[in-house]
Amino acid sequence: MLDGVAGMARDGFVTGASGRNWLGYGAEVELDPALPAVARDLLSDPQTSGGLLVSCDAAVVAEVLAVFRAQGFEAAAVIGVVKPGPAVLRVVA
């Protein structure tokens, strides 16, 4: 998270679309209670909800990360895994 963003969100600087986005898919998202209260608004901000994720087979993760890093995206990282079961996104602190 960028420095100062959580404070701005706490001060009310969030988009109206964050709430509408959450209404659209929030029932399928579980937020870790340890996350700050503003996590929901920031995670559902329309400026950050597209084009940021890549899914690949676990066997090629190192290769995929190497490609991103070679292209200047040094901060590319594994942020989760896909497991069998009901469709739900669990966001942990």
DSSP states along the chain: --TTHHHHHHTT---HHHHHHHHHHGGGEEE-TTS-TTHHHHHT-GGGSSS------GGGHHHHHHHHHHTT-TT--------SSSS-EEE--
Domain count, the chain: 1
Structural domain boundaries enclosing 65? 5-91
What is the pLDDT, as a whole number, of residue 85?
Answer: 87
pLDDT band at 72 (very low <50, low <70, confident <90, very high): very high
Per-residue pLDDT reduced to its tens digit, 10-62: 999 988 888 898 998 888 899 999 988 888 988 888 775 555 678 899 999 99
What is the pLDDT, as a whole number, of residue 52?
Answer: 64
What is the pLDDT, as a whole number, of residue 67?
Answer: 96
